Amino acid sequence: METGTPTAKPTSPQAAIDQIVRQVSEVSTLPQVALKVMRVARDPNAGAAELKAVVEGDPALGMRVLKMVNSAAYGLRTTITNLHQAISYLGFNQVRNLAMTASVADIFKRNEKVGTYQRTMLWRHLVSVGIGARLVARRCRLAAFEDAFLAGLLHDIGIVLADQHAHAQFREVIAALDGSLPLCEVERKRLGFDHCMLGAAVADAWRFPAPIRAAIRFHHGAQRYREAGSEIVRCTEVANVICTLKGITSVGQRLVEPALDTFKAMGFRKEDVVILAADLDREIAMSENLFEL
């Protein structure tokens, strides 16, 4: 279900965001199975059997789990056909990420196109940034590298939500993009808020983990976030910049800032970025099944 311009004009940016959050909640944009998987994955007392019970409630998700564990990314010599074994092999966080990927993918199946923006291209950007953020997190030896994937996957969720729930104003945003201003600034002029603010508000309503919410809110300015999970936010910003510079963009234009402070804080030099960009190509090639809609 998609909505256009709200019938009553909100009186403030926060009121506009709250209105969209209510709309998102009413139409259940994110299937309950994904939220259940996230709850089980966060439960220290839950095991593979509990997660298997949730995954079995969504046959399509079960197929994705089996397809992932048997993909080239893992290079297993024998095929795994048992869901319990697949979950045990992949781990809770990887299955959580697959559930979220499958659920968010449903939003993109209708390929809306507005100017340079296409939903399918935004989807490719989201998955690529997820893969890239995980790659950066591994390079930095972060234990929570799967959280980095989820942060990257969801960092621009506010764009598609604005597309869905404030479509008339969203068209104005895309039409106004001429390369002279960052996307967030144009959004604030036309919508009263930007996709980072909207995405973070919806992530709060969906009770996502704090580092994921922070990455959504601060992925265009990771150095402004100093609390727990800041490494995940930085990984997301770095991956977003690299993907955008490679032409894997959110709205069909290269509008991100270089994020030099974030690269410096992570100790990345120019040659490190070149290596990361090359490694990202290989990671994307091995994870093509994640892009399926």
Residue 179 lies in a domain: yes
What pLDDT was estimated at residue 6?
46
Domains contained in the chain, number:
1
Residue 3 lies in a domain: no
Which tokens belong to 55? 């995954």
What is the CATH classification number for the domain harbouring 36? Answer: 1.10.3210.10
What pLDDT was estimated at residue 103?
82
Residue 277 lies in a domain: yes
What pLDDT was estimated at residue 9?
59
Per the CB < 8 A criterion, the answer to whether 40 and 95 are in contact is no
Residue 7 lies in a domain: no
Which tokens belong to 32? 């309950």
Residue 5 lies in a domain: no
Residue 141 lies in a domain: yes
To 10 degrees, what angle do helices 230-245 and 210-218 make? 40
Residue 198 lies in a domain: yes
Burial (0-12, 13-18, 19+ Cβ within 10 Å), 117? buried
Q: CA triplet 119, 230, 88: central angle to 5 degrees?
A: 70
Which residue has 């290079």 as its token pair? Answer: 75
Residues 205, 207, 208, 214, CA torsion sign: positive
What pLDDT was estimated at residue 1?
44
What pLDDT was estimated at residue 7?
45
Q: Residues 6 or more apart from 279 whose CB is under 8 A from it?
A: 135
Q: Which domain holds residue 37?
A: 13-291
Q: How do strand 113-114 and strand 117-118 relate by DSSP bridges? A: antiparallel
Instruction: Give me the tens of pLDDT residue by residue for the chain, a chain 293 residues long.
Output: 455 544 455 668 889 899 998 888 776 556 677 878 888 888 888 888 888 888 888 888 888 889 888 987 788 889 999 898 998 898 888 888 888 888 888 888 888 899 999 999 999 999 999 999 999 999 999 998 999 999 999 999 999 999 999 999 999 999 999 988 999 999 999 999 999 999 999 999 888 889 999 999 999 999 999 998 999 999 999 999 999 999 999 999 998 888 899 999 999 999 999 999 999 999 999 888 889 87
Residue 69 lies in a domain: yes
The span from the first CA to the last CA of the chain, in angstroms, equals: 17
